[in-house]
A and B are shown apart, each in its own frame.
Chain A
Amino acid sequence: MKCDDCFNLLEEYIDGEAIERDAAQVSAHLITCAACAHEFEALTAEREVYARYDRELTVSPAMWSAIAARTTESRPINSGSRFSLGGWLAGLFATPRYAFAGAAAVVIFAVLIGVMFLRTRTPERPPPPETVARINNPAPTSPTPDVVANSHPPKMGEPVLSGPERHPLSEVSAAKLQKNPRRSDQSGVLFTDAAYTDIEDKDTANHVAQAENLLRSVRNLQTSDDNEEVDVSYEKAESRRLLDDNVVLRRDAEMAGKYPVKKLLGELEPFLIDIANLPDKTTPTDLRAIKDRVQKTEIVAALRSY
Chain B
Amino acid sequence: MKRLAEISLKGQPGAFAGSLMNCSADLVARACEGDQEAFRLIFERYSRPLISFVYDQVGNRELAEELTQETFVRAYRSLRTLREETKLSTWLFGIAKNVARESLRARRRTNQHVDLDDKLVLNLSDRGPVPVKQLLNKELNEVIQNSLALLDEDKRLVFTLKVFQQCSYEEIAEITGFSIPKLKTDLHRARTEMRKRVGSYVRVES
Which residues of A are at the interface with B, using a C-beta cutoff of 8 A? 11-12, 15, 17, 38, 41-42, 45-47, 49-50, 52-57, 59-60, 63-64, 66-68, 70-72, 74-78, 87, 90-92, 94-100
Contacts and interface: CB of A to CB of B under 8 A. Distances in A.
A64 B81 CA distance: 22
Given A15-B162, A97-B177, 9 more contacts: A45-B204, A46-B202, A63-B65, A71-B72, A71-B77, A78-B34, A92-B78, A96-B95, A96-B177
B73 A46 contact: no
Interface in B74-119: 74-82, 86, 91, 94-95, 97-98, 119
The 8 closest A-B pairs by CB, nearest first: A96-B94, A91-B78, A78-B34, A94-B74, A94-B78, A71-B76, A59-B47, A67-B72
Contact of B164 (A11, A50, A59, A87): A50
Given A59-B48, A63-B69, A64-B43, A91 B188 contact: no
Given A15-B162, A57-B51, A87 B43 contact: no
Contact of B81 (A50, A54, A66, A98): A98
B163 A77 contact: no
Given A50-B163, A53-B140, A64-B40, A90 B77 contact: yes
Contacts of B65: 60, 63
Interface of B: 5, 31-34, 36, 39-40, 43, 47-48, 51-52, 55-56, 61, 64-65, 68-69, 72-82, 86, 91, 94-95, 97-98, 119-120, 137, 140-141, 144-145, 162-164, 168-169, 174-175, 177, 184, 187-188, 191, 195, 198-199, 201-206
Contacts of A94: 74-75, 77-78, 81, 95, 98
B29 to A, nearest CB: 12
29 contacts: A11-B187, A11-B188, A17-B169, A38-B204, A42-B204, A45-B205, A46-B195, A49-B201, A49-B202, A56-B119, A56-B120, A56-B141, A59-B48, A67-B73, A71-B36, A71-B73, A71-B77, A75-B34, A77-B31, A77-B80, A78-B32, A78-B34, A90-B78, A91-B80, A91-B81, A92-B81, A94-B74, A96-B97, A99-B98
Contacts of B169: 15, 17
A54 B78 contact: no
B193 to A, nearest CB: 13
Contact of B205 (A41, A67, A78, A90): A41
Given A11-B191, A42-B204, A52 B137 contact: yes
A53 B144 contact: yes
Contacts of A56: 119-120, 141
A78 B95 CA distance: 20
A75 B188 CA distance: 43
Interface residues of A: mostly helix, strand, loop or mixed?
helix
A45 B202 contact: yes
Contacts of B163: 47, 50
A113 to B, nearest CB: 24
Contacts of B68: 63
A12 B140 CA distance: 25
A100 B177 CA distance: 10
Contact of A54 (B39, B72, B137): B137
A74 B69 contact: no
A68 B31 CA distance: 12
Nearest to B97: A96
Contacts of B48: 57, 59
B55 A55 contact: yes
A77 B75 CA distance: 10
A108 to B, nearest CB: 19
A299 to B, nearest CB: 45
B61 A57 contact: yes
A18 to B, nearest CB: 11
Nearest to A40: B204
Given A46-B198, A49-B202, A67-B69, A95 B78 contact: yes
A204 to B, nearest CB: 36
B149 to A, nearest CB: 13
Contacts of B94: 95-97
